[in-house]
Amino acid sequence: MSDAAALEYYQRISERFPQPPQDVRIAAEEAARNGLEGINDDVMAKVAFYPWQRRFWITVVVVLTVGFILDPVITGSILSAFLVVLYSLTVYGRMRITFTGILSDPPKQDLLHLVADDDLPMYTILMPAYDEPEVIRNLVRAVDEIDYPHDRLELLLLLEEDDHRTLDALLEVELPASVRVLLVPPSEPRTKPKACNYGLHFARGKYVTIYDAEDIPQRYQLRYAVAMFENSPDNVVCLQARLDYFNDRQNLLTRFFSIEYATWFGCILPGLQALNMPIPLGGTSNHMRTDRLIELGGWDPYNVTEDADLGLRLAQNGYRTLVLDSVTMEEANSDTVNWIRQRSRWYKGYLQTWLVHMRRPRQSFQHVGFRGVLGMTTVIGLTPALAAVNLFAGLITVFFLVGLPSFLSGVFPPWVVYMGTAMFFFGNALVIFSSILAMIKMRKEHLVWACLLFPLYWFLMAVAATKAVYQLIVKPSYWEKTQHGLTEAGE
Amino acid sequence: MTRVMNPRFLSFGRFDRSKARATVFILLLLIAGWNTVTIYVHQKTSMSAPGGALAAFLTLGLLLLSHRLPSSTGGTLGGDSETDWIFAFALCGVGVWMIYWLPGRFADHFWLWRPDTFGLMVCALGVASLLGGTRFALWIGAPIFVTSVVTAPIVQILLTGTHPTAMRVAIVSALLGTSPWWLARPYTHVRIWRRYVFLVPVIVVATGVAVVVGGPDWMISVVAGLIVAVGSWWVVRAVTPRRNSISMPNVPFTRQRWLPVMAIVVGAACVELLLPTATFTPVSALTTPHGTVQGHYRTSLGLSVTQWSLPSPTPTIEYLVTTITGKNKWTVLTYPMGTMLAIPQPACPNISTFHNGRREVTATLYLDQVYAYRWQFVSWLQEHRNTYQRVAVTIATGPVGSSIPPIGVTPYVGVDAGYTLGSILANRHLLCEPFPLVLQTALAMNPNTTNADLIKHSKVHA
């Protein structure tokens, strides 16, 4: 589209959906990209590796390469021993968090004192969307179903100015009065957090939350959030609602995804909360105090899991995140390749986030303590890292088991073989067992049988993690777009 | 993803570049896997039952081609190049490794399981993810896996037994032939079931007619297999155009990936050269051990199986010899003989393979730790005037004052298969070196083998 045609298109859209003055838009866009930098550029993922981190990882790669050239057996055995120990510690850490979560009892909705209608504050919902014309109708339905006074509800639909497919679809529907469409000026990076920052610039609510366009939040979720904020200490600035899937029976992949989400939101996050560890936020349905969010600089536009990053940044600044006992229904990704793309973005973002928050390790230890750094490393850093190693380790294991090559016998000294085998059987069985317990706790008994097939899912995770590591080096801020709206066709 | 309007495949009037590439690709895979394919064809033909395997491969080929069929609504999801590469790398790595290593690990059972065909299939799956995308590879993965399993000779032997009849062979051929497409399409589609209900009686009647009319077993088997293959295509054709086209778009062959595909094919071909070629050194005369015949029988495949016990210097050691003799070396090789040793509770089945000149010799050590019995086993194949003989020498030792359990005469095919898996899964980090006593016995029975060769090779490979 030529510039003139683009301008004409923009004018046509802005007639239907009025936009702020151009200078305000430009200022907001600039703040969306660089607002965080002005506050603390140390926490931006604009550069994936800090200089010392780059030097460290290059040294590791060089040492390993030289080691494999000079003495592959010694180097391989040291590396395999290190990985086995790391696996063992990670499984222990993760199980500790999961079982703490399973045994914990988070506050229930009925224990909260709901705030009277007259006392409800202004609430802003940010809803970023890109190239998703198919979910616009769902958006309208979802807004209608939210139980909150509409005069105190502001929904900012954040669309890219050149996203013509979604805009065309939008022209065909009648939007509720509380919905305001904001067109984000096109600029790099084209990420969801940048769009959210843009929306935050115009937000008028005391509290702000994010929903994806295809989300179906629980009807009273905003009321619960307000009630919980009002009954919590001031340092509680974020509430994370539980995410669940409405299409969990569509196919095996959606079942796996649902098991994972149920375990994550039902057990791991409550476990982190109970152990007083930093909570990485989920992609949507995280409710925040707007003023504190602005004070922190909003989201990192260069981080592809800006939610997880924000969760850790809140913890680093002494704020707390609690789990909100309310559910938002989403669409589980039902296509394998689409899932791998989405998951690779999440894993890349996790790695970005961990690297960002470990740029100054001493500060991190001071701010969140040893336990906090341990939790952050186990959940955020090692999850994708070990998933990436899994593909290679899995291949080597297959080679070792079926081929028994003599050089691998040297690489795996007996104690490593026994410990690795124990981890292989005991560790994996434990993870499957904890998933089954989580399904029982979350009243999802129909997914228990799928837990037994979870190793298939781990293979996909390993592929996604490998892709994430590759992209972290080659294109760290590239946003892998996930396609939504596959449920109907899939079923 | 744009909608691909390609109404029919195998319409040579519309033979486009993608089809040419697909054809070249399949030919290249055949060339790369020539050794595997040749041995496999010989082996299955010798078992008088090539139909099942042929039908299974044909069905798989048709499924592979079916990704060229048009989809009803057009694909909307894009592929992902990076994912394709990761899948291809992992699968080809495993596949090549299996081709290279598994023959050595399976030893005697290699001919029963043919793990190299499975490795070749895994390689093909990796290449498929490069050419057709990851979604295509995932879709075709289950049929490929099933084809690999059902085409293993052990499955044929398990289903038809060691005395197969023409009818059993024909039915098994039909069963094996249909198996790949069972996993390649949704079960819920009514049209599939209508066609299947029509197809089954046709296969049964056609097979019955073939048996009544008469003819060699292999011909009946091939006819049954072909009917199944064509029928399978008909059933597959009924549903593939209506598959979920949003997540399974038609993905044309990608031109820029031709070079890595060629590299994979050439790499696989190089690995293929390392496969056992079953070229055997002729000996002057077939060995006839002098001892007590413990059992003898002939199989319907024209094999003569005999077992002897040889004179022993001490009561705690028994020398046992099993020979399988026949005109077809592939039949001789394929005939299961692991359980003919009839070893009670083998606690440590370990296998080692070494080479005697161009001949591959297998050594197995079975150890019964409970009763302190030990069986050591060396086998080889030899040829004389177009007659082939597989010889297995077993040294059985037991505690002083006890009698050694007798060995069996006929194989237990199912148990044989189980032993193979057991030997692969158990005691992975140990390899048993053939004991000198076993080697000496083997040498004594085969005058053409030099002691130095045998011991040197055994050390290299142990």
In three-state secondary structure terms, A245 is strand
Q: Which of A335, A399, A470 sits opposite B77 (nearest CB)?
A: A335
Whether the CB of A403 is below 8 Å from some CB of chain B: the reply is yes
φ and ψ at residue B180, rounded to 5 degrees: -60, -40
Q: Worst-scoring range by mean pLDDT, A260-274, B218-232, B403-417?
A: B403-417
Residues from chain A that touch B187, judged by Cβ atoms under 8 A, are none
In three-state secondary structure terms, A326 is strand
In three-state secondary structure terms, A78 is helix
Q: For residue B421, what pLDDT band results from cuts at 50, 70 and 90? A: low
DSSP of B315-371, one letter per residue? TTEEEEEEEEEES-HHHHHHS--GGGG--SS-S--EEEEEEETTEEEEEEEEEETTT
List the structure tokens of A153.
Answer: 């509800």
Residues 6+ away with beta carbon under 8 Å from B108: B337, B338, B351, B362, B364, B379
B146 strand-pairing partners: none
Q: What is the DSSP letter of B21?
A: H
Q: Residue A481: what pLDDT?
A: 78
Whether the CB of B82 is below 8 Å from some CB of chain A: the reply is yes
Q: For residue B73, what pLDDT band results from cuts at 50, 70 and 90? A: very low
Q: Residue B298: what pLDDT?
A: 75
Domain boundaries, chain B: 12-272, 292-461
Give the mean model confidence (pLDDT) for residues B346-372. 51
**Residue B429 and residue A403: Cβ atoms within 8 Å?**
no
Residues of chain A with pLDDT under 70: 1, 38, 41, 106-113, 401-410, 485, 488-491
List the structure tokens of A11.
Answer: 């004018």
Give the C-alpha separation, A335 to A90, whole Å: 29
A341 and B80 Cβ atoms separated by less than 8 Å = yes
A-B contacts (CB, under 8 Å): 83
List the structure tokens of A191.
Answer: 């990420």
DSSP of B170-202, one letter per residue? HHHHHHHHHHHHHTSS-TT-HHHHHHHHHHHHH
List the structure tokens of B310.
Answer: 């040889």
Q: Residue B13: what pLDDT?
A: 41
**Residue B247 and residue A489: Cβ atoms within 8 Å?**
yes
Give the mean model confidence (pLDDT) for residues B129-140. 77
Distance from the Cα of A335 to chain B's closest Cα (Å) equals 6
What is the overall mean pLDDT for chain B?
A: 64
Structural domains present in chain A: 18-484 (3.90.550.10)
Q: For residue B108, what pLDDT band results from cuts at 50, 70 and 90? A: low
DSSP of A428-484, one letter per residue? HHHHHHHHHHHHHHTT-GGGHHHHTTHHHHHHHHHHHHHHHHHHHHH-TT---PPP-
DSSP of A260-287, one letter per residue? HHHHIIIIIHHHHHHTT---PPPSS-EE
Determine the straight-line distance between the first and last CA of chain B, rounded to whole angstroms.
55
**Residue A489 and residue B244: Cβ atoms within 8 Å?**
yes
Residues from chain A that touch B244, judged by Cβ atoms under 8 A, are 489-490
Whether the CB of B246 is below 8 Å from some CB of chain A: the reply is yes
pLDDT 10s digits, A392-447: 887 777 777 665 666 666 677 777 777 777 777 888 888 899 899 989 888 888 88
Q: Which of B87, B101, B246 sits opposite A489 (nearest CB)?
A: B246
Q: Residue B404: what pLDDT?
A: 59
pLDDT 10s digits, A35-73: 777 677 677 788 888 889 999 999 999 999 999 888 888
| CB neighbours of residue B23 within 10 Å | 12
Place of tokens 């009670």: B344
**Residue B134 and residue A483: Cβ atoms within 8 Å?**
no
Whether the CB of A402 is below 8 Å from some CB of chain B: the reply is yes
On the 0-12 / 13-18 / 19+ scale of CB atoms within 10 A, B290 is: exposed
Give the mean model confidence (pLDDT) for residues B256-281. 65
| B164 cis-preceded (ω within 30 degrees of 0) | no
Q: Which of A404, A466, A486 sits opposite B246 (nearest CB)?
A: A486
Residue percentage of chain B with pLDDT more than 70? 41
Q: Residue B279: what pLDDT?
A: 47
Distance from the Cα of A160 to chain B's closest Cα (Å) equals 21
Residues from chain B that touch A335, judged by Cβ atoms under 8 A, are 77, 135, 246-247
**Residue A489 and residue B80: Cβ atoms within 8 Å?**
no
At how many degrees (to 10) do helices A51-70 and A72-103 cross? 130
Q: Who wins on pLDDT, A199 or B140?
A: A199
**Residue B429 and residue A489: Cβ atoms within 8 Å?**
no
Q: Residue B427: what pLDDT?
A: 37
Whether the CB of A463 is below 8 Å from some CB of chain B: the reply is yes
Q: Which of B76, B82, B94 sits opposite A398 (nearest CB)?
A: B94
Q: Residue A257: what pLDDT?
A: 92
Rounded to whole angstroms, what are the CA distances from A419 to A305, A389, A402, B293, B426?
A: 34, 17, 19, 50, 17
ipTM: 0.82
Cα Rg of chain B (Å, integer):
25
On the 0-12 / 13-18 / 19+ scale of CB atoms within 10 A, A415 is: exposed
**Residue A417 and residue B429: Cβ atoms within 8 Å?**
yes
Answer yes or no: is pLDDT of B282 > 60.
Answer: no
**Residue A395 and residue B94: Cβ atoms within 8 Å?**
yes
Give the C-alpha separation, A135 to A448, whole Å: 31
Q: Residue B370: what pLDDT?
A: 53
**Residue B247 and residue A399: Cβ atoms within 8 Å?**
no
Q: Who wins on pLDDT, A34 or B33?
A: A34
Q: Who wins on pLDDT, A63 or B305?
A: A63
Distance from the Cα of A475 to chain B's closest Cα (Å) equals 12
List the structure tokens of B392.
Answer: 């297995």
Whether the CB of A405 is below 8 Å from some CB of chain B: the reply is yes
Helix count (H) and strand count (E) of chain B?
16, 7
Whether the CB of B142 is below 8 Å from some CB of chain A: the reply is no
pLDDT 10s digits, B436-450: 554 555 555 544 443
Answer yes or no: is pLDDT of B428 > 70.
Answer: no
Give the mean model confidence (pLDDT) for residues B412-430. 53
**Residue B86 and residue A463: Cβ atoms within 8 Å?**
yes
Q: For residue B172, what pLDDT band results from cuts at 50, 70 and 90? A: confident
